[in-house]
Structure formats: structure tokens, C-alpha cells
Amino acid sequence: MTTIELVQGDITRQRVDAIVNAANSSLLGGGGVDGAIHRRGGPAILEECRKLRAGHYGKGLATGRAVATTAGDLDARWVIHTVGPVFSASEDRSGLLASCYRESLRIADELGARTVAFPAISTGVYRYPLEDAARIAVDAVRAARTDVEEVRFVLFDERAHAAFAARLS
């Protein structure tokens, strides 16, 4: 059974097997969580992302999919990159957001990861409403068939922490 934990803080400071990156489809770094992971993790992450782009992911990683690289200088073994959906009021993209969590856990299982830290995917510049994102994330993790023992949602601020805590209770 997977234990779910909430932490308010910096995902790049977590000591876990795998840190999930809310990446953009280019896999080449960006802002928010993505930028922080690339900055703190160092050039090894970008180097592996470039190799992925040169290979199978030449057109970028599709929304809802996930792929792993080294964690570089982070206190983790791997970074699992997943591309969350941009929120749309006219189109239901909740399935794509849930897929980010399911696919990340699938990759974690393939790697043998037992502890995984997730950010609140798509709630920054992709504007997914926090309460909806928390519901989708928690429900997807609870429903997943995984060997991961601990999922840690690492939430940047009190508002995000409160939204996830409300969904967990």
C-alpha cells in the first residue's frame, strides 16, 4: 500500500528515489519547478534530456506521458519528467492530468523507485485550478497499482498544501 505524505517546501531538496518534474514538452528546461530542477540538478539532466530529444522524443514529450533521466546533483536517483496539460475552460483535460501521475508511477515502478516526490503538476503557468488539480492528483495516486511505497506531494505554498490536505481528509 502506498503512503501519501504532504510537505510544504522545495521539491529540489527532497531525499527520495525519484523527483517528478512538471516539464514542458521540449524537455529542455523552463520556468517554475522545471527550471528549479534543472538549475539545482546541474547539466547532467539537460544532457540526458537532449539525448532523449535526439532519439525517440525528437518532437517533444506528449502531454500526459513521462520519461526518466538521471537526477544529477539532486538528492534523488532519477528525475521523472512529465508534461501536464494547460488548463482549458472549454475542454476537459483531467484525463491528461491524471495520466501524468499514472505514467510517472509506472516509470517509477520500472526503475524500482520506492519513494517519489510530486509537485502540483499544471497548477503554475498552465493555470490548472488548484482544487481540481489536487483532486485529480490524489485520486490518481490512490487508484494506481504501484510498488511505490511513499508518494510525497511537495507543495510550494500554503494554499497548495491546504488544497491537497483537504482532498486527503
Question: How do strand 3-8 and strand 66-70 relate by DSSP bridges?
Answer: unpaired
Q: Which three cell numbers stand for residue 151?
A: 508518494
- Check if the beta carbon of residue 104 is closer than 8 Å to that of residue 82: yes
Q: Which residues are the active-site residues?
A: 34
Count CA within 13 A, CB hemisphere, residue 120: 30
Q: Which set of grid coordinates corresponds to residue 82?
A: 512529465
Q: Which of 134, 136, 145 lies closest to 6, judged by CA?
A: 134
